[in-house]
Structure formats: C-alpha cells, structure tokens
Amino acid sequence: MSKSTRITQVATIGIRVTDQQKAIDFYVCELGFELRRDVPFGDGRWIEVAPPGAMTTVALVPEGVPTGIRLTTRDADADHAYLRARGIDADAEVVRKGPAVPPMFAVRDPDGNSLILIESS
C-alpha cells in the first residue's frame, strides 16, 4: 500500500574515510568527480563529491560522523512525528545543531540500516 511522503530524494551516501584530503584526491583527480561541498563541520569538514551532473553525492565523512544514506525531506518535524506515531524506529528527537546545519533525524529499517532524513528548503 502506497503512502504519501515528504521525502524528496536520495541526497547523499556517507562513506567513512581515514584521510579526507586523500579521498578528495582519489575521487576528484582519479575518478573525475566534482567537489560539490567542502565546509567546516564540527571539528572537521563536511565534504561531498559526485560524478558530473549527478544529483546524489558521496559524503567523505571522518571518524565519528555517521555513514549511510541521507534523504531529504520537506519537513523533518512532521516526518519525525508521523514515523514515530507509526512505531518506526526513529531517533527520540529531531537534531538541531545551529543555523548552518538543517534539522535532521535517523530512522532504522527492520534490518537496522540507518537512514538519515535531512530537511531541505
């Protein structure tokens, strides 16, 4: 049975890297990906790369940042409330880390895979 959703796209796949600069060199210089985002994030950097023209990016995340699939949603609070009310394994609260980081929360599928829903304007 189909359910309506505010989820709009698979935005980013986060993979763990031990050295972000070496990872950039590999993905950009060797594979020909574009560097889409490289901004300060906590004590490190948030880096996204993608093949030219691709909508979905690969986040090159350092230790301590969750890996996995990041989906965009139009309304993190509404989706969070809806999923929790349906008994979905979702974080207890929507995470807010300040004006530079959009609201987000994680849900886990029946196999324990984490999906992170991030609000996109």
- Dist. CA 92–CA 80, nearest whole Å: 9
What local confidence, expressed as pLDDT, does residue 4 receive? 65
Chain segment 78-109, per-residue pLDDT in tens: 999 999 999 999 999 999 987 878 999 999 99
- What's the gap between Cα 16 and its chain centre? 13
What local confidence, expressed as pLDDT, does residue 112 receive? 87
117: burial class by Cβ within 10 Å (0-12, 13-18, 19+)? buried
The pTM score is 0.80
What local confidence, expressed as pLDDT, does residue 2 receive? 46
| Per-residue pLDDT band at 44 (split at 50, 70, 90) | confident
Average pLDDT over residues 52-73: 92
Gap between the terminal Cα atoms of the chain: 28
